[in-house]
């Protein structure tokens, strides 16, 4: 059965990479096939075990929320304000946008951040008549880098800090500095790659010609929308003490937004939900769940430990690179969940593995940053690229994405590898 699951995953990945079949159809057909041939003894129970319903409902709720907020003009307002503050330099604007995205993603789910900032980016692109692709890519990468900084920024970090009992303040003390370096190097890399697009200047008179107040059609709606957006951000910041799942907050954002702004006609907003993204993740969850069920994920984890040959230096490096590369193709949540008991059991294997604290940071860095490798490596990637294709008519293929992301991820993992070795000395 392992072979069947592995072949199914490989075939789906092939269609996603080549684009010869719609990725949603490929993922759903692959997942449903595994259910039909009873990889899970009870297909219905297998479906329930595999699907991350929290993620799917969260995506639906936040997609509705963003569409509702768009009608207030708030995104265009933020776009013009950002352009004016950044001045006449495109690179300066790019750095400003990506660092803000990273900061927000450190505390709020990466997908939410992308859903909020990509429409802002489209508005900026329309205002300045520039290609939004470099900005969208930068924001996708920044959202995943920012999510690596805190225990609540990315699901693998939640699992790791919970299992290792690492305090919030201790985690950010070691994770924020290295990720700020990675973010800066990532931005520099993209500015160099897209140097032709960034080699443009705008006169101050040109920028002063834009009036942000003109995008506000109803001041009352704008004020209420602004207050509601801060309320939703506040809910995310207090998610843990309030004991609310991301899906609940997402649905509150979406449907309370409809209640406030569009209590009668909701069909146009439901039609704008990216159902293709939702079903793509549904199929992907089933496939990765099947890989976990038949033991493929566990085999990978055990293999990583085996090739380290009892060396902490080797194992730390292997964890960073292997988790980074694998997380670009498979869901990093089940991989992280599989690696946690493996790392926990290391002290019982050899005295050399008595201090496993640095390995937790190595796993967090690799699993989270590796999501930037492919278009399907993280939820934010899929959502950002889907929005770009749907609303700007620009498609970034799997191959083109990797052409840009390879350098970003290589730099990220190389810096992480060096940093993980430093942590071996100081922790």
Please compute the mean of the pLDDT values over residues 99-115 and round it to a whole number. Answer: 85
Report CA 260 to chain centroid distance, whole Å.
29
Count of domains observed in the chain: 1
Check residue 211 and give its pLDDT. Answer: 73
Please compute the mean of the pLDDT values over residues 19-39 and round it to a whole number. Answer: 90
**6 domain residue, yes or no:** yes
**179 domain residue, yes or no:** no
pLDDT score of 337 more than 70: yes
Check residue 47 and give its pLDDT. Answer: 87
Check residue 76 and give its pLDDT. Answer: 75
Residue carrying structure tokens 């939820």: 379
273-296 tens-digit pLDDT? 888 888 988 888 898 888 888 888
pLDDT score of 200 more than 80: no
**372 domain residue, yes or no:** no
Q: How far is CA 161 from CA 45, 324, 357, in A?
A: 29, 18, 11
pLDDT score of 334 more than 80: no
**191 domain residue, yes or no:** no
134-191 tens-digit pLDDT? 999 999 999 999 999 988 788 788 888 888 888 888 899 999 999 999 999 999 999 9
Please compute the mean of the pLDDT values over residues 247-268 and round it to a whole number. Answer: 89
44-88 tens-digit pLDDT? 888 888 887 887 888 888 888 888 887 888 877 877 777 777 777
Check residue 134 and give its pLDDT. Answer: 94
**19 domain residue, yes or no:** yes
How far apart, in whole angstroms, are the C-alpha atoms of residue 353 and residue 79?
50
pLDDT score of 345 more than 90: no
Check residue 244 and give its pLDDT. Answer: 82
Please compute the mean of the pLDDT values over residues 218-244 and round it to a whole number. Answer: 85
- Exposed/middle/buried for 264, CB within 10 Å: 0-12, 13-18, 19+? exposed
**244 domain residue, yes or no:** no
**128 domain residue, yes or no:** no
Q: Which of 19-23, 131-135, 350-354 has the lowest mean pLDDT?
A: 350-354
**172 domain residue, yes or no:** no
Check residue 341 and give its pLDDT. Answer: 75
401-422 tens-digit pLDDT? 999 999 999 999 999 999 999 9
Residue 308: count other Cβ atoms within 10 Å of its Cβ.
Answer: 19
pLDDT-based confidence at 352, cuts 50/70/90?
A: confident
Check residue 408 and give its pLDDT. Answer: 93
Task: Please work out, in degrees rounded to the nearest 5, the angle formed at the alpha carbon of residue 61 by the alpha carbons of 83 and 120.
Answer: 10
Check residue 31 and give its pLDDT. Answer: 93
Please compute the mean of the pLDDT values over residues 325-337 and round it to a whole number. Answer: 79
Which phi and psi angles does 367 have, rounded to 5°?
Answer: -65, -40
369-390 tens-digit pLDDT? 999 999 988 888 988 999 999 8
Question: Range of 279's domain?
Answer: 1-50+275-294
Neighbouring-strand partners of residue 89: 201
């Amino acid at each position: 059965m392992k072979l069947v699951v592995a072949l199914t995953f490989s075939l789906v990945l092939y269609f996603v990479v080549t684009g010869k079949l719609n990725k949603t159809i490929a993922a759903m057909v692959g997942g449903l096939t595994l259910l039909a041939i009873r990889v899970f003894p009870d297909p219905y129970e297998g479906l329930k075990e595999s699907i991350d319903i929290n993620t799917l409902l969260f995506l639906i709720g936040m997609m509705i929320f963003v569409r509702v907020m768009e009608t207030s003009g708030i995104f265009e307002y933020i776009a013009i304000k950002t352009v004016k503050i950044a001045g006449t330099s495109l690179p300066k604007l790019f750095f400003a946008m990506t660092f803000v995205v990273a900061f927000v993603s450190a505390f709020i789910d990466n997908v939410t951040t992308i859903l909020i900032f990509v429409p802002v980016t489209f508005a900026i692109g329309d205002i300045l008549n520039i290609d939004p692709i470099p900005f969208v890519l930068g924001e996708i990468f920044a959202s995943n880098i920012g999510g690596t900084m805190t225990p609540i920024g990315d699901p693998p970090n939640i699992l790791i800090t919970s299992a290792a009992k690492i305090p919030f303040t201790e985690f950010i003390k070691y994770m924020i500095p290295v990720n700020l370096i990675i973010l800066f190097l990532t931005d520099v890399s993209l500015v160099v790659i897209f140097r032709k697009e960034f080699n443009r200047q705008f006169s101050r008179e040109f920028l002063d010609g834009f009036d942000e107040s003109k995008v506000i059609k109803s001041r009352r709606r704008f004020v209420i929308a602004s207050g509601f957006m801060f309320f939703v951000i506040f809910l995310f910041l207090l998610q843990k003490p309030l004991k609310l799942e991301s899906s609940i907050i997402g649905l509150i954002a979406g449907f309370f937004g409809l209640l406030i702004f569009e209590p009668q006609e909701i069909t146009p907003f439901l039609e704008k939900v990216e159902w293709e993204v939702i079903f793509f993740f549904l199929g992907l969850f089933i496939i990765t769940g099947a890989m976990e069920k038949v033991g493929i994920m566990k085999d990978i984890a055990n293999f990583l430990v085996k090739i380290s040959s009892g060396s902490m230096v080797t194992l730390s490096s292997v964890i960073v690179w292997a988790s980074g590369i694998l997380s670009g193709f498979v869901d990093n949540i089940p991989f992280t969940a599989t690696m946690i008991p493996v790392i926990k059991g290391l002290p019982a294997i050899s005295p050399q593995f008595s201090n496993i604290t640095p390995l937790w940071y190595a796993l967090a860095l690799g699993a989270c940053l590796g999501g930037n490798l492919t278009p399907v490596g993280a939820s934010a990637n899929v959502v950002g690229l889907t929005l770009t294709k749907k609303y700007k008519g620009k498609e970034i293929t799997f191959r083109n994405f990797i052409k840009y992301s390879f350098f970003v991820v290589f730099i990220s993992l190389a810096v992480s590898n060096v940093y993980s070795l430093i942590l071996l000395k100081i922790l």
